[in-house]
Amino acid sequence: MSRTLILVKPDGVKRQLIGEVLGRFERKGLSIAALKLVQLETSVVEEHYAHLNDKPFFGELVSFMTGGAVVAAILEGPSAVEVGRQVIGATNPLEAATGSIRGDLAIEAGENIVHGSDSDENAEIEVARFFPELG
pLDDT digits (tens, 9 = 90+) for 69-126: 999 999 999 999 999 999 999 999 999 999 999 999 999 988 999 999 999 999 999 9
CATH classification of the domain holding 77: 3.30.70.141
pTM of this prediction? Answer: 0.95
- Statement: residue 50 has pLDDT above 80: yes
Structural domain containing residue 99: 2-134
Q: How many CA atoms lie within 13 A of 95 on its CB side?
A: 4
The rounded Cα 131 to chain-centroid distance in angstroms is 14
Report CA Rg, the chain.
Answer: 14
The answer to whether 55 is a known ligand-binding residue is no
pLDDT digits (tens, 9 = 90+) for 13-24: 999 999 999 999
Active-site annotation holder among 12, 71, 115, 117: 115
51 in catalytic set: no
Task: Report the pLDDT value the prediction gives residue 135, as an integer from 0 to 100.
Answer: 65
Measured distance CA(133)–CA(16) in Å, rounded: 27
- Statement: residue 35 has pLDDT above 90: yes
